[in-house]
Each structure stands twice: as structure tokens, then as C-alpha cells.
A and B are shown apart, each in its own frame.
Chain A
């Protein structure tokens, strides 16, 4: 061995799966940060109130939902928790999911110029999109804290488990986002499917109302929607004992999440090498 720097040979061949894919992904983590940072930095350029948009939008939605579902339709809240607080605890994961899904699904097409000109593990692109939504989620927590202070509401010990549900929300958005992003590269029809999913999802997920109003015999079936488990989890963590956790539903939601994660990543890895040709 006369080589001074021992570098591994890179072999390029059809169908050759990269042995070090996950290590590569880790190696490129700085690019992940940079891409997420770029999307955040660019978003509010040339706007007047800038990042305040991240606070105003969820706040107004919360006000509307509270009026429509709580005051007009007079739906019950979870226990004694204020309706606005319950809505907001559900909206946090929902708005995270909807923006993460939409951004991740369009991320590959949006970054077509990168994909057709530079190599990097492509999975970085949708992950970065979900990371951006995660930052928005963190910003929205500021409103939640303000609301809790306003209503003088003290969360219980359950709040310590919140990161678990954030992680599930992350997985479900990433899994579905990656899957749709893959399909979107090949069949642009999915670009029109996403807004539809997001719009419909808002009504079939317990965002504006509590999932306790669902009849018991339908509850398990309802939990096929992975967002149900996530939203219930958020409410349980944030509203303390006021919201009951429906365990079978939670496990089912986690199972569905895991399925989407598996499906998404599998499809993605299978198609990844031909993205540059199709995009």
C-alpha cells in the first residue's frame, strides 16, 4: 500500500445499493442543517412583520375554531380545560403535520435543480422540509404558553412525555411526506392530491373538537388516522388529567405511523437513484 491517504473505492453500478447510506446521511448532516436554515431564512424575506406570521396564523385559526366548534356548535371540551386551550393543543400537531407533509411532498420537485446537479443522500431534502415545520411548531409553543398564562392553567407531569408525541408526529409527517414526494417525482398528479389530503384531514382529525365525542364503537377505527393518536397524545400531555388517553387507539396510530415510515423510506430508496432522470 503506497497510498498515503487511504480512501475507499467508490463503485458505481446499476442497482448497487450504497453500503454506507445511513452513514453517508449522517456525514451530510451539515447540509441538512443548511437546507433547513435556508428555507427558514428565505421564508419571511421581504415581508413586513416577518416571523410574526408564524404566530398570527395559528392564533387566528384557533380563535375561529373556538368560536365555531366551542361557541356555535357547543361541542364539549376535554374535562374542564378551556375550549381554546384544547383546540390549540390539537392544532399544534395538526399544523405541524399539514405544513410538514405539504413541504416534504413538494420538496424534491422544489429542489430539482440540486437533485439534477449534485450528489447527496436525497433523503436529506424531505427531512429538511420537516425540520422547518418543526421550527414553526416550537415557535407556536410560545402562543401556547401565553394562552396557559391567560387561562391560569397549570399542565401536569404528563408534559414531560410530550417529546415522545412530537417524535411520533415527526415520523408520521416524514413517512407520508417521503412516500408522496417519491410518487410526486414520477407522477405530478400528487401535487394536486396533497392540498386535498390536508384540507380533508383537518375535518377527519380531532383538531377543532375533542376525540371523546366519537362513539366508543368507532373509536378504534377512527384511530387508523395516525393523527388521532398524536393529537390525543398532545392534549393528554398539555392538558394533564383533563384529557383521557385512549391506549388501544394510540398503539394503532403508532403502528400506522411505523407502516408509513417503512413504506415511505422503502419506496424512496428504491426510486432514489432515478430521481435525476425523472425530475
Chain B
């Protein structure tokens, strides 16, 4: 007998998505609105009569969330699944957990499957911790006897003994996540499918969960499929990984190679000019059109330097016909391991950007002294107008930071895990001398 636990052949999944038609005008005549609504109504009615799904919007498009994905997983293997947002990771897991069915291809699973696509699925806020353990356990497919047996273990792992009889709506978010994960961690299926559930919870607990999962895989020979954005977690847990991109399986090899490829891949997307990006969200009242880097003298540069002034120059387009007020722009900076390291946000500064005329304008984000360590960074752009998301682009762009003279000594930390540089100084003074100085000043 073969020891293949999961065999996936040409798995594909299609969705239909609707769009509002491309032209969006601010002032539309009532006649046009009525016409459009009438057309939509007729289409929807026809759909209902034919028993088809209703799709909002007036243009319908087919979209393959997953296309011809094939792979095999041996029993006892921990396979990492990585890919950008919308690459099809969650769709794959949903198919393997029998939540949705594929349109083409098939998958063969050998053994009891349990899936953990969300922490605390079915938790009810009004019920107590104790009640929720039974509820969540049953939902995840545990028998009551099984839960009873492991009850103490679950409670101990979650560290919520004192609050067992408190409704979970009174729990802190940390306690909630701990309890929810703890129930799931005590599942005993042959195949465990885990979506990005560790992204929540504090670092210590995340480590504890990872440890528990590793334990489960190595000791009990359980097969695990594991999706995460945390490359460090993927590298430490999985020997091999699968890279998905736009619904296709791009690589399935050694984890470290796949992670490298993923990071290159992210870089390539981020290199796409902003104005042709369509994977953006928001009302579109404002659009980020292009991005460039400027160095200390306002000249365009290919990379920033540590310690030097750095400016990200955006060209934004106000697509309304009036001057925009109440505009907030935020830039999230992630390092190469996809960990967020900084955020540049006009809201944090209490700076409400106003006076953007219709048409194009320049928006510069000035960082007086670049404090990031040399390396490659990518940014996410998030912007709102009067609280409504206007333009939101993930992996919008990349920039490199080259080593520079941050401290004026020509030296930089050699430790590779250091992420940011901080201004600091060391002050030496005799004990009590500070006090003496102060009293001396008072006497003056």
C-alpha cells in the first residue's frame, strides 16, 4: 500500500463575479438609473427562473480561483501552502475540507479530516467558556466523550481555568483565541487542515500553538496542511511547501526554495506600475497612480540609504470633480519575510490631507532619517476619504534600503535579525551628580 495521505489531481474551482460597469459617473440621470435597474431586474428574474445564482452588478465575469492544481502529500508530512492574497489557498483548503465542491478534478483523502479554517468557529458569545468548549468541539467533529476526556487538558492549555463559567463575551480577545485554539489543538484527526489561524493571539501563545502542532505531526504521524503568511513559521514547521499563484500551483519543493520563490514573486507583483494594477479595493474616488523614490536632494533614486532622508513620491489622481477633503493616506511597510515593520499614516500624525484638486497631484511621504536596516521592503497602500476606503492596494510597491551611515560612524549592526535602527546615546554621570547639578541650577 502506498503511504500517500492526500492526492489532488487537476483540482479547479470557478466563481462568477459581478462588476458595476466601468463608467462610474457621479451625476447620473434618473432615467439611466431606472434603465439600468430595470435591465438588472430582468436579468435577475431570468436567473431565478433558470435556478441560477443572482450576481450583483451589471457585468458578469468568470474567475478561476483554482486551476489544475495537482500534488500529493505523504502520510505524516507537514506541507506548507503559501501564496499572495487571492492566490487560491483558502479555496484549496475549503475544497479539501468538503465545504465547497470543485468544478473540475478530484482529491482523494485517506483518513479522518479535520479542518481549522478559523479560530473559534461557532463560539457563541453568550455561552460560558465551559459550554463553548463542548459546542466548538462538537462542531469540529469531536465526540462528547472525547471532549470530556480532554476537558482538563484543553482548559490547562488555554490557561482560562478561572473564567470557565464566564460568558465568553466578557473574555479578553487573547483569552478567547487561546480557548478557541486549545479546543482545536486537541482534535485527533489523521489529516489536519489549518488556515492562517495563528495570525491572531500573542506571540507566546503562537509559539505554544506551533509547538503543539509540530508535536502532533511528529509524534502521531499526522498529516498537516498549513497555510500561513508567516514565512518563519512555514520554514520552521514544514519540510516542503506549495506555492500558489493566481490559482495555479507554481512550485512544490523544499520549503526554503519555495519561500525564496514566493518572495521573488511578491517583488515582481510589487514592481507592476500602480496605474495598471486592478487588484485594488475602494471607492476609487482617489487612485494612487505611480510611486517613485527620492533621496535627500529630491532627486529620484533606485534605493534609499540608511540614515539619509528618504521620500516616497506618489502621484495620486482625484477622480471626482471637486476638491477632496478629509483624505487619509497610510503606508504599511513589510520586510522580506512579510512581517509588518512600520506604518506611515497621516491619521497618526493628526494630519488630515485636504485641498486635493480634481486631476493629478503629488503626494510625498518624507522620512527624515531612514531607520530601517538594509534590505528589501514592500509597502501596502491604504487610503480613505471621509472614512470610506478610497484606494487600497496590497503589495503595492517595493523599495530597497542600502547600507548607509546612520550613526555617523560608518557602522551598522552586524546581527542579521535587527530590523530597525534607533537614535540613542549613552550618558555617563556620577551617582547623585545629576541632583547636585539641578540644585546648583536652582541656586542661580
A contact residues vs B (CB 8 Å cutoff) = 1-3, 5, 7, 9-16, 28, 30-31, 33-35, 38, 41-42, 45-46, 113-120, 186-187, 273-274, 276-278
Contact = CB atoms under 8 A, between A and B. Distances in A.
A190 to B, nearest CB: 11
B111 A118 contact: no
Contact of B97 (A14, A114, A119, A274): A119
Contact of A34 (B98, B108, B113, B138): B138
Nearest to A267: B51
A274 B99 contact: no
B54 A187 contact: yes
Given A7-B111, A9-B108, A118-B122, A1 B100 contact: no
Contact of B1 (A2, A14, A273): A2
Interface string B87-102: 0000000111111111
B101 A12 contact: yes
Contacts of B111: 5, 7
Contacts of A31: 138-139, 141
B1 A118 contact: no
Contact of A46 (B48, B54, B126, B131): B126
Given A41-B131, A114-B139, A186-B54, A12 B126 contact: no
B109 interface: yes
B124 interface: yes
A9 B100 CA distance: 18
A118 B115 contact: yes
Contacts of A16: 101
Nearest to A12: B107
Instruction: State the main secondary structure of chain A at its contact with B.
Output: mixed
A14 B102 contact: yes
B131 to A, nearest CB: 7
Given A118-B122, A276-B94, A278-B53, A30 B99 contact: no
B143 interface: yes
Given A46-B126, A120-B139, 20 more contacts: A7-B110, A7-B112, A9-B109, A10-B108, A12-B101, A14-B103, A16-B101, A30-B144, A38-B127, A41-B127, A42-B127, A45-B167, A113-B122, A117-B121, A118-B115, A120-B141, A186-B53, A276-B100, A277-B15, A278-B53
B104 interface: yes
Nearest to A10: B109
Given A7-B111, A7-B190, A119-B97, A42 B126 contact: yes
Given A7-B190, A12-B107, A187-B48, A118 B102 contact: no
A82 to B, nearest CB: 40
18 contacts: A7-B110, A11-B107, A11-B109, A12-B95, A12-B109, A13-B101, A15-B101, A30-B138, A30-B144, A38-B124, A38-B135, A42-B124, A42-B127, A113-B121, A116-B99, A118-B121, A276-B99, A276-B100
Interface in B104-147: 104-113, 115, 117-118, 121-122, 124, 126-127, 131, 134-135, 138-141, 143-144
A3 B110 CA distance: 11
A11 B108 contact: yes
A274 B100 contact: yes
A12 B96 contact: yes
A12 B121 contact: no
Contacts of A273: 100-101
Contacts of B107: 11-13
A30 B143 contact: yes
Given A13-B106, A117-B117, A118-B115, A45 B1 contact: no
B324 to A, nearest CB: 35
A182 to B, nearest CB: 11
A30 B140 CA distance: 11
A12 B102 contact: yes
Max chain B C-beta neighbours (<10 A), residue from A3, A10, A120:
A10
Given A38-B127, A42-B127, A117-B121, A12 B140 contact: no
Contacts of A276: 94, 99-100
Nearest to B97: A119
Contact of A117 (B15, B118, B124, B135): B118
